[in-house]
Amino acid sequence: MGKTISEKILARASGLEEASAGEIVKARVDVAMMPDLTTILAVKAMKAMGREKVWDNTKIVPILDHVAPASTLMAATIHRDIRAFVKEQEITNFYDVESGVCHQVLPEKGHVKPGYLVIGADSHTCTHGAFGAFATGVGSTDMGAILATGKIWLRVPETIKVQVDGALPELVAPKDVILKTAGLIGADGATYNALEFHGDTISDMSVSGRMTLCNMAIELGGKAGIVEPDEKTYAYLMERTDGVFDPVFADEDASYRMVQAVPVDDLEPQIACPHKVDNVKPISEVAGTAINQSFIGSCTNGRLEDLQVAASILKGKKINPDTRLLVVPASHEVYLDALEAGIIKTLVEAGAMFSNPSCGACFGGHIGLLAPGEVGLTTSNRNFQGRQGSPEAFVYLSSPAVAAASAVTGVITDPRDLR
């Protein structure tokens, strides 16, 4: 019987000839990433285990992104302590508050390669499966053990093959594909499974689009989301790494728990309605719902192509006076690229507010909070109660095109209606 990508990567990381779903392996970690909210907890866990030095100061990547820059004394203190830890341990790859969202920065700076085992102290670490890696999030205690030893115990997951074929209609995006998938599989339908994305739709998709798919694997309960690497993957990474790759591919006769087909030829823009990510409806069923705020950004949809499509819709238009539009680029690199392309000027002229790259607006941190009774439309990944402010607010998830169009009309709007 053939093997899935996850089985192959975890076997390699564990020094085994092969590994099968359900087995427990002790795997060597290639990259350990920690955002600001979890770093100090992981460091304390490491020291509680009797270790004073990290296992490899070149493979640990702390990134200050969630409350960046600090908006409270507590956040400032955490940032200070992380900077001191970085100096104490002589960590070579550290990204301070100006850098951006961890899941964007990590591949941009060349820390992810096909076949890697990437562990992050953040649930959306599964984003990096877009590069053919096995990437998953863990808690701070597990990360403390990784800091100490460089290894982690993992159960090899079963895999769901997500088969996506067909051409995406105009202004239907990868975000719509993953929302449709969430509606089909359910918020717990992939619990501790890997999602392998296959099909010609995926092959045609940009690296950014694949990151959007893998990013939301966790929202279906998934342990990881993975796309096989191809020439697009290598082209992205050649500019950012040493260019030496050891990719892993699924066998044709690999054993999958299930195969989920996702039809896209006639796919409408999709909306995840409050308060569950799998409460997904085609936009035709929710169009006209009034919104107070639209947010474009996050590790799901804060990349250059996301801002480009928003600018193409907003050019020459104005934000509805009863609606706020908040835009947060995913990284410093994205911010600069958008600035040079004139995208930021277009969005600001339409009435958008810009913030520095960070996670703050996505998780209800220090910017863009919703008041009780307000309705937010967001390109991020979660819409449970209290995610972006008041537990009495209502959050809908959409693509950047929908978020931009809806900011113009003040109600949830199919972007194709503005063309």
Q: Do residue 151 and residue 296 come from a single domain?
A: no
Name the maximum alpha-carbon separation found in the chain: 62
The pLDDT of residue 384 is 87
Q: Do residue 132 and residue 279 come from a single domain?
A: no
For 314, left (φ over 0), alpha (ψ -120 to 50), or beta? alpha
Q: What is the CATH number of the domain that holds 99?
A: 3.30.499.10
Q: Do residue 56 and residue 199 come from a single domain?
A: yes
Last residue of a domain, one of 243, 262, 281: 262
The pLDDT of residue 361 is 79
Q: Do 246 and 2 form a contact (C-beta atoms < 8 A)?
A: no
Residue numbers of the domain that contains 387: 270-418
The pLDDT of residue 419 is 75
Q: Do residue 233 and residue 324 come from a single domain?
A: no
Q: Do residue 233 and residue 287 come from a single domain?
A: no
Q: How many domains does the chain have?
A: 2
Q: Do residue 248 and residue 275 come from a single domain?
A: no
pTM above the 0.75 mark? yes
Closest to 61 (Cα-Cα) out of 14, 108, 25, 15: 108
Q: Do residue 183 and residue 275 come from a single domain?
A: no
Q: Do residue 258 and residue 320 come from a single domain?
A: no
Q: Do residue 140 and residue 104 come from a single domain?
A: yes
Q: Do residue 246 and residue 103 come from a single domain?
A: yes
pLDDT single digits (tens) 206-218: 999 999 999 999 9
Q: Do residue 46 and residue 178 come from a single domain?
A: yes
pLDDT single digits (tens) 191-249: 999 999 999 999 999 999 999 999 999 999 999 999 999 999 999 999 999 999 999 99
The pLDDT of residue 101 is 96
pLDDT single digits (tens) 340-380: 999 999 999 999 999 999 987 787 888 889 999 999 999 99
Averaged in consecutive runs of 10 residues, what is the pLDDT profile of the chain (419 residues)? Answer: 96 97 98 96 96 96 94 95 97 96 97 98 97 97 97 98 97 98 96 98 98 98 97 96 96 96 96 96 98 96 98 97 97 97 97 92 85 97 88 97 98 94
Q: Do residue 209 and residue 322 come from a single domain?
A: no
The pLDDT of residue 362 is 84
